[in-house]
Every structure is written in structure tokens, then in C-alpha cells.
Amino acid sequence: MTSPRSLPYPLGATWRDGVLDVAVYSETADAVDVCLFGTGDEPTEERRVRLTERTGHVFHGLVDGAGPGTRYGLRVEGPWAPAEGLRHNPHKLLLDPYAKAVEGEWDWSEDVFGHLHEEPETLNAADSAASSPRCVVVDDDFDWGDDRAPRTPMDETVVYEVHVKGFTQTHPDVPAEIRGTYAGLAHPAAVQHLVDLGVTAVELLPVHQFAQDSHLLEKGLRNYWGYNSIGFLAPHGDYSSAGDGGGQVAEFKALVKALHAAGLEVILDVVYNHTAEGNHLGPTLSLKGIDNGSSYRLVEEDEAHYFDTTGTGNSLNVGHPAALQLIMDSLRYWVTEMHVDGFRFDLATTLTRQDGDAEVHSAFLSLVHQDPVLARVKLIAEPWDVAGYQVGGFPARWSEWNGKFRDDVRDFWRGEAGATGALAQRLTGSPDIYEGAGRSALCSINFVTAHDGFTLADLTMYEQKRNEANGEAGEDGESDNRSDNNGAEGPTADGEVTERRDRQRRNLLGTLLLSAGVPMILGGDEIARTQGGNNNAYCQDDEISWFDWEGADTDLLAFATELVRLRRENPVLRPRWYGDEGAGTRSVRMLRADGVDMTPEDWADANGRSLGVQLTPGEGSEGGAAFLLLLNAADGPVDFVVPDAPEGRWRLALSSDPEQEVGKEVKELFVRDRSLTLLRSA
């Protein structure tokens, strides 16, 4: 029998055929050691094993006496020359970039920095092992049973953006020992809420292993959102009820399996644009000490510093094959091994910047486009970074977070002058952005709120942000509410103000779920979750961010559920293409309150605050009912003349006005101030 041999791929620590094979990429290293610390039950003193084989720029070798559960790290020998972009320091215990599980956290002593604080050019010889987490060797075996990806078509998709911990941390029907974990989100009580609401996909805020920020810990805060990745293949250990000793991998897989069984897809919010290692003054945790120049974009002719388009101190070097390989290997791993159904790319524009400018034919986009594994999953871009805005600039294969939808819908409902024309574009799938490039409305991920900003409830309660708890003197977060708080600030208000707020919440949810494109609901908006006016709760791992299930607005939940049901059951509300002929199409009429088609003069009227939108199935489409959406953002009522229904007569299907009677026949309708009403042909 032939003895096993080490392989240069896959990278990382792979347990196969009873042996551990470790492979590490570095163009600039002189030597790589694997540092072993035993298992969680039987920790040992550090034992170093040098990787003696080398294929191209990959150091690799077989490691005896190590298997699933073994804790390990890396030490890399090589030149220390920051001015040349070289930051090797064998005194630092480094995370394997391909680690599948990580145990522990950094204590942020000076030990974990490759340089001295007072002398950034000088190598820091203090050993960091006692201050650093460990990688954990993982056995990939898992009983997936009959797991099957839902493969929900984009036109039927309703996305629910949610935080793993916050969703169940206070859920009364989830056992206390698993609240706030992957297992908690997989619990039947949690899954049932999603199923009852009718969403089809959960978009999880970052679950890649991320690092806590030292400046937050010093203030008694924590990185809650998780946009500080350090392990692109490892599920974050803090979200595991099994602990972070490797059990987080199987627990995450069990979550995906449970959601799939309920017909729900899993989309990951992924942060490949930067890592937690920061700039030239940041710590040396992983890639910086393994191969700094291949991993990060360095300033040309000043390689001691980092080119930063993310606002975090560094940007991944997507012009280099090694960095691209890490991203692609990570994406394929989460699809093939973890069974996820799609990705939302944080600051995706940074990933298209090979030489500085965003490029539609960048290597990253080209690799993704041709990859057969990624061909079957959803790809969603956050189409901007701190250096530029790229909505509409991604290839047809991609969908995009449509920030213009958020801004224009908010402007309309707060009564902004001249907002009606822009609203019409957003209601019909933003053809002004996508149609000219041959893209469809399904490229637009529509949202009115997201994790970054006010919740829906706070959007209608607060005119100004209230971020003092973040410890930044209220200076953080966007300052513009871009909606109407309807009177007195805060949750306490008289009956008239409260009722108007309720209408605005329904108006915003209604516009979102009745617009062409793919709607994304911010988790908790359906039950009026509040953050007390904090519109940047990234560091609030507490009641500010967690769901308040006891205080849920069940009436709003019923309204949101009915909206999702109407959308699901009526293809005319979720067209696949612009135009009025062919499958997945519809005809659209834009109407004034007197029932006459809108004219160029009407669109140019800055005082216009109302609009009627008639939606009729197109020739060759799935057929079904027609709808008439009536919107009034004015401060007073509007008397709408209702045109003849294409077939039969109009009946009232839904309204943000509680005084409207659902099911009644409608020939003319008095639409009150700040309200939305939907009619359906009988």
C-alpha cells in the first residue's frame, strides 16, 4: 500500500484518509511551521512541525499526531521590511486563512502586533501565542439526509435580513440554552415565524469568523454586526450553542438543513473586501504575517501603507491570484460543504477594483461569472464603497442593493417636492437603472430599511438619530432621517400621531412589497422593532439590537403577512421583465387622481403628492387578477376616480387606512392623507 503524500491543494488543514495534510500559500516566506496545541480536552505545550514540501508558492506537508479537534496555528519565517510590504514575524501565532473553525479571541495586548506601538518600523519580538485564538481541525462529515436547496426563483423571492443572535436572544418559545445561536434560529418556533410571514430567504448578517474591535471592548461594547472578518471559511464561534471548539460547523449545517426543510433559502452577508488586520498600525493576525503583499493592496511606491477603499484600514488585493483564490475557495466551500444558497457582498465595488477604478470586467467578476458551482446560487452586490457608487453597474448575472429605492420611497412618503416621478420608477422595478442595459427588474433588491440605519419603527418615531450609547458623542451614523416622524419624537405620542405613524409604517412596507423587483425586509420591521432611535447599532449587543418579542406589534405583523401573501399569489405584482408581452410581463398605467393618464406636465409638477398605478397581466403572461394601487402622500385626502377594471369590477384588497373596508366594491375612493390602498379586479 502506497504511503499517503502531502498535496498542495486544497489549502488549509485537511483531514483525509486518517492523516492531516496542511498547505499554506506564501510567495515571500522562507519557512512555515504548523503549531499544535493538542485537543480541547487534552491541551499540550506548543509543538511545531515544519512544512518541508513546497510546490510553487505553497508550503505543505503531512502532520502526525493531529486530527479532528486538534488546535493549531501557523508561524511564518521571512523578511521583516515594512517599507517593502514585508511583515513576516515568526513570534506571532497566526490564524490559518483556510481554518474551518476558530476557538477563542485575541486579548489585544501589544503581543499580537507585529510591530512596536511606539516604533511601527521595528519588529516586535514578543510571542503572541498566549494572547491569540487557535484554529481547530474539523471533520467535514455530516448527515445531510435528504437536504435539498429550495432554488426559489428570483421573482418569487422575499428576503429577510436578520442577525443570528438578535433574532432569538429573547424569544420566549426558544429554550434559553440555545437562544442567540445557530441552533436557536433553527428551532421550530423561530422557523415558524419566518414561514408564517411568508418570506423565502433569510439573509444572515456576517457569520464568517470575525474579530472584536479593541476600541469597542475598551468602552464595554462589542462588534455586534460582525463586519470585521478574519476567517472566510469558519462560522463565527460565538453563535454556537455547542461552543467554539469545532461544534459550530455541524451546528451551522444543521441550521441550513432546518431552514431548507421549511422551504427557506440561506443567503450570507459576506465581507471579502477587507479583514480585521487594519492598516500599517493594525495587528498581525493572519494574512499580514503570511504574505502581506499578495493579500492586501499596498500603496504604490509606499508599500508600508495600505490602499483603503473600505474605511477599515485595508482592502483585499483582488488583483492578485492568491487573494482571488481565497475568495473563490471560500465561496465554493460555503455552497458545497455548508449548502448555502447565495451571497450578499459587502462593499462589492471594492472587489472590482484591480487597479483603482471599478471595472465591470474585473478578474473577480469574471471568475464568479464562469464558476459552475456559483452558477446555481444568488449573487447580490452592495454596489458601492467609500470611493464610489455603482448602482446599475454590475453584470446582468447579479442583483444589487438598490439604494435609490430606499431614498426615493422615503422621499415620497415624507412629502418631498417632486418625488412622484422617481417613485414611479421604483414601483416599476427601476427601469431607469436596469432596462437600458438589458437587465430586468429582478436585478433590483428593494429595501426601505436595512441593518445600517433606522428600523422601520424608528424611521417614523425619530427625526434625529440617538446614538449616544455608541460612545461617539452621537457623531456616528447618517444624520438624515429621510422620512416623516409624524409629530412628537419617541414611542410616546397621542392617538392621532400614533395612528399616523402606523399608516406610514404600512405605507413603506406596502410600497416595498408591491413594487417590481426583489423585496428585502429588515428583520423585526414586521413587528415594529425599535432601537430607541439608534441608527448605527453596530456595537450594541444588547436589548437595543435584540428583538423584543413581548412587545411585538401583531397588527403590523398581520398587515405584512397579507402583503407577502398577495405578492406570492399574484404574478402581476412581481414581473420578471419590463414590457407587456411574454411570460412574466405586465402592462402599467400611471394615473392622476381624476383617472386620466399622467402627462409630462404632471410628472414635472413639484406639488404632486398622489399617484394611481394600474397593473394588468401582459399578453402571454401567467394571467390572473389586475390591481390598482392608489398612493397619497399629501397632508390632505384625495378623491380618486377609479377607471374601469379590465375584467369585472374593483374590490378593496388592502389599505394602510384602518377605516377602509377590505372586500368592498369600489368605483370611486376617498383616499385619506398619507395612505396607500390596493384594489383588485374581481
The full set of domain ranges for the chain reads: 12-136, 154-458+493-527+566-572, 582-681
- Bridge partners of 77? 31
Strand partners, 344: 269, 380
Instruction: Please classify residue 635 by burial: count the beta carbons closer than 10 Å to its beta carbon, then call 0-12 exposed, 13-18 middle and 19+ buried.
Output: exposed
Q: What is the mean pLDDT of residues 270-293?
A: 98
Q: Which fold has domain 582-681?
A: Immunoglobulin-like (2.60.40)
The CATH architecture that domain 12-136 belongs to is Sandwich (2.60)
Q: Containing H/E element for 120?
A: none
- Of 330, 344, 483, 473, nearest to 401 by C-alpha is 344
Contact 648, 619 (CB under 8 A): no
Q: Residue 270 phi/psi, 5° resolution?
A: -110, 145
Read off the pLDDT of each residue in 417-422 and give the average, rounded to a whole number. Answer: 96
pLDDT of residue 561: 98
Give the pLDDT score at 3: 75
Give me the mean pLDDT over the 275-280 stretch: 98
Cis peptide before 10 (omega within 30 of 0): yes
Axis crossing angle, helix 403-413 with helix 420-427, rounded to the nearest 10:
130
Count how many Cα atoms sit within 13 Å of the Cα of residue 252 in the half-sphere of its side chain: 32
SS3 94: strand
Q: What is the pLDDT of residue 346?
A: 96
- CA dist 218 and 136 (Å) reads 28
Cα 579 from Cα 563, distance rounded (Å)? 24
The phi, psi pair for 342, rounded to 5°, reads 170, 175
pLDDT of residue 490: 82
What fold is seen in the domain 154-458+493-527+566-572? TIM Barrel (3.20.20)
Round the average pLDDT of the chain to a whole number and report it. Answer: 95
* Whole-number pLDDT of residue 483: 67
pLDDT for 147 equals: 98
Q: If you average pLDDT over residues 462-472, what whole number do you get? A: 95
Q: What number is the average pLDDT over the span 587-592?
A: 97
Is residue 246 predicted with pLDDT exceeding 90? yes
Q: Are 89 and 289 in contact (CB under 8 A)?
A: yes
Are 360 and 351 in contact by the 8 Å Cβ rule? The answer is no
Distance CA 119, CA 150 (A): 55
pLDDT tens digits along 354-377:
776 777 779 999 999 999 999 999
Q: Where are the alpha helices (DSSP H) in 296-375?
A: 321-336, 363-370
Please give the C-alpha separations between residue 197 and each of 294, 501, 502, 525, 557, in angstroms, as whole numbers: 45, 22, 19, 12, 8
Q: What are 348's three cell numbers?
A: 462589492
The catalytic site residues sit at 346, 382
Share of the chain above pLDDT 90, in %: 90
Closest CA to 156 of 557, 562, 490, 564: 564
C-alpha cell, 141: 462529515
C-alpha cell at 635: 397632508
For residue 390, the model assigns a pLDDT of 87
- Rounded mean pLDDT, 230-244: 98
**12-136 and 154-458+493-527+566-572 share one fold:** no
